[in-house]
Structure 1
Amino acid sequence: MKIINIETIPLVAELKNPIWDAQHYISKRQALIIRVHTDQGLTGVGESASFGGPIETTKAVIDKELKSYFIGKDPFDVERLWDEVYKSTIQHGRRGIIIAALSGIDIALWDLIGKATNKPVYKILGGYRDEVEAYASSGFYREGRDIPQLAEMMKAYVDEGFKTVKMKVGGMKPKEDLKRVQAVREALGDEVDLAVDANSNWDLPTALWMAKQLEPLNIKWIEEPLMADDVIGTAKLASSTIIPIAGYEQDVTRYAFMELIQNQAVYYLQPDAIWAGGISECKKIAALALANHLAIMPHVFSSGVCLAANLHFIASTANAYLLELDRNENPLRDELIHHSLTHENGQIKIPDIPGLGIELDEEVIKKYRIS
């Protein structure tokens, strides 16, 4: 079997009700879907992250540069192909858009391998669990949403069956954010796990103060408290609080996560399969974490393809912990994959279907595809 083409499909869906976190105003959801076609008629599906920039730039990297590395090659040689691209692009790659672009192709290759062998991806990778616990990721800032409404919304996720929920902080003055967290904790009660995500918008003094205030509220983790580049600051925070630190979704490849591990900066490592280097690289990051008694908890905030890729990664990984299930409006997740990955009481059963186990709705692709 040989690869004959790589197709890049940019999708954009405008949101009815924009939301924002501490750093980003989100008025639309976008996803760059990857299809790898073979001479035997099998097609693998992946997604390349396009966070922080126009989706067209990631598409151009694949179309103009990376595609040539894969045409005519055997998709089963996924490890060698990844390594070849990484080494050949190292002068302008190593991090950022090259790795994000490569991630989607890597995921599509694993989907292809699963389809060719008639096995789900997580089984090929070394299946560890058939069901994954999800947490409700929400609590964004939104026009007209006051604190009582926020607390009511977060409580509704618990009523759906979620045992862990996460909310945004860092977008207001610390004392105002603290009031928001206190209200949510009161609404949830003491038995539900509550995490907070600052999206890298605190400085170290603010993070130290907030962590001290949050400790009595039994916070499960503090996510991305500082700039991702401030590894030493994050390590200082981690050593000063009983609340575990999670991060950093912005980091990619084993080398960035190794720096976090070596500095004892985080407990929960958060690579994203569509961003950090694909499933192949995420498995290496997980192995580093396992050797250092740390947990993997992927970042998941994009289309249904992203959800499926990270679900299979978690299901195949001993030290993976929780699937982030974004509860915000997202047609590129809910419509695109026919609701094929749904939770019941906060648990997602992995479909016993070859590859990633999802089918893309062609009408939805037509609806949201941009030229």
Structure 2
Amino acid sequence: MKITRVQIADCPIPLPRVLRLGPIEIRTRDYVVLRVETESGVAGEAIGYPRGTPLFETLSSMARKIVGKDAEMRRRVMFDLEQSNVPARAALTRGLSLIDIALWDIASKQAKQPLFQYLGGLRDSAEVMQVAGYYIDQRSIPDVADEIARMRDTGCRRVKIMLKGDSPDFDLRYASAATVKMPGQVAADAHWSWTSLNEAKRTCRSLDGLGLNFLEDPFAASDWRFTHELRQDLATPIAAGEDVFGRHAISDLVSGIDIYRADATTVGGITGAVEAIHLAGAAGRTVLPHVFWPLHIHLACAFPAVEGVEVIPPESGADPLDRLLRNVPVVENGEMRPSEEPGVGISIQWDAVEQLASRHLAVTADDAA
């Protein structure tokens, strides 16, 4: 089943206001979408964040290498891509991840099964963690506390808030107000705010007595040793890993944290995510995937180590994923069910892509390397 055509589009969607996550400012939520078409008519799709990487260009180059290849030989296709530029493997990982996801989408559709069943199937729904407190620098603490209470009242059993990271006093007042609404069920995301252990400890020690469900990403992915040392200083569980890839790096990371934040769009696709889930499980850790819930709900329903999925509510205005996807699964009483349609759960609205794309490329056999 030869790959005949690959479509790639860059879709930056303006946010309603500037979103600040730790030291990062986001004015547009940028997505890259991918479609891999085959001679049989079956196509695979994927979507991811570039996060400052040249993801569109990476996929453009990779598309020329995979057109004409057999989509049913998924590992062969991926192995050849990985070996085509070993020194640049780190820079290429997001592109490799999306192609792997699209190939799994094709395989699941060929098998006429949704991904969670194609992977073996464990359950038909999983718990949802909703994210609250976006735009906290432009809102009041009581406003976010009310948002958390509304989530709780709809059946949500775990909520994550976004810390400012640069104001220990503010974060303590903020987290305290949040945990009053859902004791033991509020997690906090630091978004790589700290660069030294002393700086992190000043905030984290004050938060440690609040009974947070977990504290996420105190340091950048490359500073996992700092994360481990901070974990030894706290009672609060630590979560990390959304940007970590490679079996050795993941093994190093999970040895000193509590919850591994897998992301199939960065860790090597479905293939990489499954390997990472097994590594975390073997280390006695649990897994909570990073956003992209239409895809990750399938992993949550296939593996016992996966706790559930993370959802950014559309009404938050922070992640307009629903503008690009069809049939996005919904949260009901704190749970989510995966799509039962064959595939990985990603169905791109190409009419919306045409309107929102800043650039679009289609690669056929005439363009192949």
Structure 2 match to 1:214: 207
Structure 2 match to 1:164: 158
Distance 1:208 1:144 in 2: 26
Structure 2 match to 1:317: 303
Query: Could you list the per-position Cα deviations for residues 134-189 of structure 1 after superposition, in whole angstroms to 9, with x for gaps in the alignment?
Result: 11113123453011112112222212221100011143311121111111122x14
Query: 1:351 is paired with a residue of what secondary structure?
Result: coil
Distance 1:364 1:143 in 2: 31
Q: CA deviation at 1:40?
A: 0.9
**TM-score calculated relative to the size of structure 1:** 0.90
Q: CA deviation at 1:314?
A: 2.2
Distance 1:331 1:150 in 2: 17
Instruction: Determine which of 50, 60, 75 is the counterpart of 1:79.
Output: 75
Structure 1 match to 2:364: none
Does residue 197 (structure 1) correspond to residue 189 (structure 2)? The answer is yes
Q: Is the 8 A contact 1:18 1:142 kept in 2?
A: no
Aligned residue identity for 2:276 = I
Structure 2 match to 1:284: 275
Distance 1:330 1:113 in 2: 32
Distance 1:299 1:357 in 2: 15
Structure 1 match to 2:13: 13
Query: 1:239 is paired with a residue of what secondary structure?
Result: helix
Instruction: Determine which of 42, 48, 59 is the counterpart of 1:62.
Output: 59
Q: CA deviation at 1:332?
A: 4.1
Gaps of 5+ in 1: 301-305
Distance 2:344 2:209 in 1: 41
Structure 2 match to 1:249: 242
Q: CA deviation at 1:348?
A: 0.7
Q: Say if 1:234 and 1:14 are closer, same or farther in 2 by CA, change over 3 A.
A: same
Q: CA deviation at 1:272?
A: 0.8
Does residue 363 (structure 1) correspond to residue 351 (structure 2)? The answer is yes
Distance 1:145 1:67 in 2: 43
Correspondences of 1:295-314 after superposition (within 5 Å): 295-300=286-291, 306-314=292-300
Structure 2 match to 1:225: 218
Does residue 150 (structure 1) correspond to residue 147 (structure 2)? The answer is no
Distance 1:318 1:144 in 2: 39
Query: 1:280 is paired with a residue of what secondary structure?
Result: helix
Structure 2 match to 1:131: 125
Q: Say if 1:214 and 1:132 are closer, same or farther in 2 by CA, change over 3 A.
A: same
Gaps of 5+ in 2: 360-369
Q: CA deviation at 1:99?
A: 0.5
Q: Is the 8 A contact 2:123 2:302 kept in 1?
A: yes
Q: CA deviation at 1:76?
A: 2.2
Q: CA deviation at 1:48?
A: 3.7
Query: Could you list the per-position Cα deviations for residues 188-236 of structure 1 after superposition, in whole angstroms to 9, with x for gaps in the alignment?
Result: 142x500001111123123223333223211010100122222222111
Structure 2 match to 1:44: 44
Structure 2 match to 1:235: 228
Distance 2:233 2:197 in 1: 11
Aligned residue identity for 1:214 = L
Query: 1:61 is paired with a residue of what secondary structure?
Result: helix
Distance 2:182 2:262 in 1: 30
Query: 1:320 is paired with a residue of what secondary structure?
Result: coil
**TM-score calculated relative to the size of structure 2:** 0.91
Q: Is the 8 A contact 1:252 1:271 kept in 2?
A: no
Structure 2 match to 1:259: 252
Q: Is the 8 A contact 2:115 2:344 kept in 1?
A: yes
Q: Say if 1:106 and 1:69 are closer, same or farther in 2 by CA, change over 3 A.
A: same
Aligned length: 356
Q: Say if 1:69 and 1:255 are closer, same or farther in 2 by CA, change over 3 A.
A: farther
Distance 2:108 2:49 in 1: 22
Query: 1:91 is paired with a residue of what secondary structure?
Result: helix
Distance 1:144 1:71 in 2: 47
RMSD: 1.8
Aligned residue identity for 1:290 = G
Higher relative contact order (CA 8 A, sep 6+): 2
